Amino acid sequence: MALAARGSLAEALSLRGIRLTRQRRLLLEVLDNAPGHLNARELLQAARRTDPTIDRATVYRTLHLLKTSGLVDELDLLHLEGEEHYYERRRTGDHVHLGCPQCGTISEFETDLVLKLAQEVARREGFTATGIRIEVRGICKACSEAQVR
Amino acid sequence: MALAARGSLAEALSLRGIRLTRQRRLLLEVLDNAPGHLNARELLQAARRTDPTIDRATVYRTLHLLKTSGLVDELDLLHLEGEEHYYERRRTGDHVHLGCPQCGTISEFETDLVLKLAQEVARREGFTATGIRIEVRGICKACSEAQVR
DNA sequence: TTGTGAATGCAACTGAGTCGCAACTGAGAG
DNA sequence: CTCTCAGTTGCGACTCAGTTGCATTCACAA
């Protein structure tokens, strides 16, 4: 019951006819409870704290599944933190990632310009957007204030 | 003279005090004349047609240089074409990449929403954007027409 | 023309992500 | 509740993009 009540990702999966294994359930739980963005290695490490036998390949296969099901988004966060990919649950609110190379911080920013972009692309180009990834590189407020000081 | 007249990238480099070697000149030329987006491997192959001795490491080091100088942008084109990175000269007009997973086509789309986004991020967040990468995944016009048919 | 710090080629390395295969298991049929 | 099997997992080997250390070469300022 607790699982069913909280397991929105799990629910979404079984709705799509995707078999819900112990490993997938665990990975979904970790993704759901993760504070920020996780890469594959971090996801594996976190999952292994609960089930030490889970394998790297399973993590990659599950991420692939979730990506193609549209349940998670893949980001690279402008490679400020490394060369790998990062993953986050797809949410309802459209948001943009702001990355500051000076301090390495990634923050998020909600704006309806994302929706407007999807509409403009549809209107002018006949292109039906299913996912939009926006990553902005620049100097964050804290860093620019520190410089002026 | 011919070089100086066309070599805007080269010019930009020497303005920044970056030494202009034979290899860099060649890579810049290839990037300038490339029809679309190139990944590191393609850039190396193209450059080797002129200078077969140029090395992979030099390509990566030069790309790193151009990225941090803000002269080229790094994209992954939503990994429709592969897992590597793609590079393109930074241009004046802001544009967005549209990728259709069905046919694998990447197209471009110019819109002033990019500029508006930069302004909104600055106004509401105090974040000074230096580069914006927008990649839209979806169904292109041709594919959606083919489906309806 | 020369001196020197920066850049190159080379070869070895790193690490993210993939793949084939044998063993295992979720969940639907009975 | 049990049986069955396609789908999934763990494992180990593999691929390949990108990096690094080092000896050699080169751009360019003086």
Chain A residues 6-25 with CB within 8 Å of chain B: none
Report the chain A residue with the minimal C-alpha distance to residue B77: A133
pLDDT at residue number A1: 33
The answer to whether the beta carbon of residue B62 comes closer than 7 angstroms to any atom of strand C is: yes
Task: Quote the tokens at residue B88.
Answer: 């393109």
**Cα A111–Cα B101–Cα A61 angle in degrees, nearest 5:** 90
pLDDT in tens, A76-111: 888 877 788 999 988 777 899 999 988 888 899 999
- Residue A149's pLDDT band (cuts 50, 70, 90): low
Residue B148 pLDDT > 90, yes or no? no
Q: Which among B78, B141, B105 is positioned nearest to A134, based on CA atoms?
A: B78
Place of tokens 């993953």: A87
Q: Which residues numbered 86-145 in chain B sit less than 7 A from strand D, measured from CB?
A: none
Q: Domain residues of chain A, as ranges? A: 1-90, 92-149
Assign a CATH topology to domain B1-90: Arc Repressor Mutant, subunit A (1.10.10)
48-107 in chain B: CB under 8 A from chain A: 74, 76, 78-79, 96, 98, 100, 107
Homologous superfamily of A92-149: Ferric-uptake regulator, C-terminal dimerisarion domain (3.30.1490.190)
pLDDT tens, residue by residue, B85-141:
999 988 777 899 999 988 888 899 999 999 999 999 999 999 999 889 999 999 999
Interface contact A127-B138, CB threshold 8 A: yes
CA A141 to C1' C18 (Å) is 41
Q: Please give the structure tokens belonging to residue A110.
A: 């909600």
Q: How far is the CA of A20 from the C1' of D2 (A)?
A: 21
